[in-house]
Amino acid sequence: MRPFAYDRAETTALAARHPTAQGQTDAKVQFLAGGTTLLDLMKLDVLRPERVVDITPLKARHSGIEVGPDGLRLGGLAAMAAVADHPAVKRDYPAIAEALQLAASPQLRNMATLGGNVLQRTRCPYYRDPSWAACNKRTPGSGCAAIGGFNRQHAVLGVSERCIAQYPGDFAVALAALDAEVELVGPGGARRISILDLHTGSDRPHIEHSLRPGEVIVGFRVPAAPWARRSTYLKIRDRQSYEFAIASAAVALDLDGGVVRHARIGLGGMAYKPWRAKAAEAALVGKPLTEDTATAAARLALEGAVGHGHNDYKVELGRRTVVRALLAASATEV
Ligand SMILES: Cc1cc2nc3c(=O)[nH]c(=O)nc-3n(C[C@H](O)[C@H](O)[C@H](O)COP(=O)(O)OP(=O)(O)OC[C@H]3O[C@@H](n4cnc5c(N)ncnc54)[C@H](O)[C@@H]3O)c2cc1C
Ligand code: SF4
């Protein structure tokens, strides 16, 4: 690991003094929360920050879990495990609790924070190994070793000829399905953005998210909605535990006697960023939730998917994942 300067930020105002340039993968200043992404990538020499700003003191103010009539509010520095195990989150927002429970390992879930989780980096092996020169995410303009290389885990939705990396997280997919917002505090004050606007697209792979310099994620808001209780997160992976998704779906349904009033579908494991399948949702409205209507919706959800050889299987796997998740959500007792 390369030498770096270390600071501790006791408040968001002190954290915001650091010009993190966070949108960029190679930012010279990085916040340290649980460290389970950051330190990994520093040891691999992928991230080379000159300054690491420890924001763990912010946990005292920003790790709450509140469930109220307006919805769910989660502190940006809450531990993944605390949210996954929270009885009211499990009851009222099961997709959120399940997405966190199925992520990583107990040790990691205890250590890692929600803010760090949504900003985790891709698991693309070429990104994580600097001996591969061609990686537009690490080195803009250098090419993409995964296109034409080994790309079994890579994305089929939202990709470009510049990058086909998969967004590996689970929690942000559930947030995307449930219309969540991200609360930010930075040098310009506080603001909220949709979770769908947090991650940026594959046309500029070295820019990963839309945080402004110095901004800290202090919370997440999930609105109360009639579909939140009938929500679920289905994660498909190569082994049953301690593994990233190769396909996942967060689904939420508001049903009127078996007929869909509202549907929400988020996709993970197969897209460049947490993905919303809005055309599939619209196609379900006013129809009974059956295997046929779920299959038609799943086809729409994967419309435009592009495989690059080894990952072609994800198109059909993604469709089946959506069908299974929809049928599971419709069968849930609420
Ligand atoms: C072996 C392994 C398996 C895993 N499996 C899964 C899995 O199945 N599913 C899954 O979803 N994840 C998985 N993960 C990823 C893990 O969940 C993330 O590493 C973790 O959530 C990151 O949180 P952290 O607090 O440790 O972030 P850190 O490593 O501290 O930070 C990550 C990044 O986010 C920035 N950051 C952190 N907090 C904030 C904030 N509040 N505001 C602004 N910027 C911030 C940091 O600057 C850094 O760039 C796995 C990780 C490992 C090592
Ligand atoms: S898929 Fe993206 S992260 Fe992976 S090698 Fe290509 S440019 Fe780099």
For the chain, list the domains and their CATH numbers.
Answer: 5-57 (3.30.43.10), 231-330 (3.30.390.50)
Nearest CA to ligand 2 atom 2: 163
State whether the beta carbon of 135 lies less than 6 angstroms from ligand 2.
Answer: yes
Query: Which tens digit of pLDDT belongs to each residue from 33-86?
Result: 999 999 999 999 999 999 999 999 999 999 999 999 999 999 999 999 999 999
Q: Where are the beta strands (DSSP E) in the chain?
A: 5-8, 29-32, 51-54, 65-68, 71-75, 181-186, 189-194, 216-223, 231-236, 247-256, 259-268, 275-276
CA distance 256 to 245: 32
Residue 119: what pLDDT? 96
Q: What average pLDDT does the segment 282-310 reach?
A: 98
User: What number of residues does the chain have?
Assistant: 334
**Percent of the chain at pLDDT above 70?**
98
Which band of pLDDT confidence, cut at 50, 70 and 90, is reported for residue 333? confident
| pLDDT(27) > 90 | no
State if residue 170 touches ligand 1 by the CB under 6 angstroms criterion: yes
Q: With 80 as the cut, is the pLDDT of residue 18 above it?
A: no
Q: Determine if ligand 1 sits within 6 Å of the CB of residue 127.
A: no
Dist. CA 109 → ligand 1 center (Å): 10
CA 49 – CA 30 distance, rounded (Å)? 6
Sheet holding 5-8, edge to edge: 5-8, 51-54, 29-32
Work out which ligand 1 atom sits closest to the CA atom of 33.
30
Task: Report the alpha-carbon distance of residue 10 to residue 136 in Å, rounded.
Answer: 35
- Please report, for residues 134, 252, 289, 291, the alpha-carbon distance to residue 286 in angstroms, rounded to integers and kept in the order given: 48, 15, 9, 15
For residue 206, the CA-to-ligand 2 centroid distance in Å is 10
User: Does 49 sit in the ligand 1 pocket, CB within 6 Å?
Assistant: no
252 in contact with ligand 2, CB cutoff 6 A: no
Q: Does residue 123 surpass a pLDDT of 70?
A: yes
272-285 pLDDT, tens digit each: 999 999 999 999 99
Q: Are residues 276 and 250 in contact, defined by beta-carbon separation less than 8 angstroms? A: no
CB of residue 228 inside a 6 A radius of ligand 2: no
Contacts of residue 98, defined as CB under 8 A and 6 or more positions apart, other chains included, come to 174, 232, 233
Residue nearest to atom 3 of ligand 2 (CA): 127
306-324 average pLDDT score: 98
- For the cut 80, the answer to whether the pLDDT of residue 26 exceeds it is no
Place 315 in a pLDDT band, splitting at 50, 70 and 90.
very high
Of all protein residues, the one whose alpha carbon is nearest to atom 32 of ligand 1 is 116
Q: Which atom of ligand 2 is nearest to the CA of 151?
A: 1
- Cα(277)–Cα(261) distance, rounded to whole angstroms? 16
Gap from CA of 118 to ligand 2 centroid (Å): 19
pLDDT digits (tens, 9 = 90+) for 188-229: 999 999 999 999 999 999 999 999 988 999 999 999 999 999
Lowest mean pLDDT, pick from 20-29, 45-54, 301-310, 322-331: 20-29
Pair 277, 322: CB distance under 8 Å: yes
Place of tokens 């009127």: 256
* Residue 218 Cα: closest atom of ligand 1: 41
Give this prediction's pTM: 0.98
Residue nearest to atom 8 of ligand 2 (CA): 135
